[in-house]
Chains A and B, each alone.
Chain A
Amino acid sequence: MADPKPGNAAPASKAATGAFTPAGVSPSRRARRKYTVRLWAVRNSRFLEWFYHRFADVFLLLHPVWKLFGYQRVERPITFVEKHVKGFLFDCRMCGQCALSSTGMSCPMNCPKQLRNGPCGGVRANGNCEVEPDMPCVWVQAWKGSQNMTKGNAIMNVQKPVNQSLRETSSWLRVTAEAAAAREAAAAAGKDA
């Protein structure tokens, strides 16, 4: 391997290379210098999977509460919490349609190409990213993480294209609302039968 091109560790040094440097919430901006926490999350993907299932159950139990306040109104505080919790753990980019359970707890939006269906062909022999030479490839990590998970096979599902209009919204609330709606629909169907 030749010595890697200068990484994009911080926006300033990235701009110095002449590369595209979007600001603010842009998905392709790199959020971290180090990947310690992100890699920890992948190593502990099984625990996080278990934890998320409990957590989602609790959220679903709270469905009457969300409904009482109105999903619209709780959206902002929940999004705030979600952004920071997932931002810390996974370097979450708030795409609003979380795929972590299908990607071995490695956030695919951290891929500079935002691939949601697997690694590109440019992965370096050492398992690092083509675009950011010092970043471990998100998808090499995802494959590792999925191997530990009980439902790791979800990595084989073909993900739909990202709906950009859902950016910066809470994925937790959306999943809960959908689960609640499905439960009610099932109950209604059961009553009809």
Chain B
Amino acid sequence: MTSRLPFTAVAAVAALLTALLAGTAIGESNLSPSLVGQVLANHLWQAGYAVDPIDAGIVWNYRLTRTLVAAACGAGLATCGVILQALLRNPLAEPYLLGLSAGASTGAVLVGLLGLGSMALNMSAGAFIGALAAFALVLVLARAASPAGNNAQVILAGIAGSQLFNALTAFLITKSATAEQARGILFWLLGNLSGVRWPSVWLAVPVAVLGLLVCLWHRRALDAFTFGADSAASLGIPVRRTQLLLISCAALVTAVMVSIVGAIGFVGLVIPHALRLLLGPGHGRLLPASALGGALFLVAADILSRTLIAGQVIPVGVVTALIGAPVFALILVARRGHS
């Protein structure tokens, strides 16, 4: 297994680079891979190729940024799905379970409708605060419902929190938004990579990488949760501290991702389940594989969202749901045959 590691790592990097190249080249106006390569070379080591400045702008400031952010978000959301499923011992756990995206939506809509300053930036800040507020509420509710930390209670609290924040969002939109605002907000809520530029890349990529590294460091602890929290404790895992650290990590990663691109579902659910089916439940392999799978999945979904309907961009959350829901159904059936 160890001897296969370098090969696997090279294959993973190659797959990621290919996806990034494809995400940058394919779009409404297809650009050749060599043109993409020339633009990248110009920027990375001043190669000095003669390139049309408009094409160069599209590649560097528009396509590359959104593809990088898509990859980071996919990786981050899939990683969060893996940790939440492991720690909450519930196959349905994913970032949305904790009401994070619903809270983020409410926060974003609140700021957006109050119309403070530059809309895009403040909506992101609002989403981040909203996500953390929802997370705190869900944890307090779960704790009040079951002091011993019953995992089913966290999920029920998450559902209650999601419903509350979704209702608040709908209420705010109905009460305060103009038709134009409502359309913009709904578009954002469904997941939107159009607005991302380099500052978002510098936020999303380090957060995704750091989140993955923290979780990988705790891979044995995550494995020890296989038979539940008590079993993990009797295997020497400081359960409370591990849960707090890793769930906070998942909440922060999700909050950052949602604040950049809006609510994108199914990545955290489908990718970990599919890879668990292929690789088994060991987190040493599952975590990096899920991060890679999530990145590839969201880059592919982004390409589809830009090309399925000519001249129009479908919200990427719609694409992930359209692919993710049937795939998840297939996984459910496959799991039954498996176990």
Chains A and B are bound partners: no
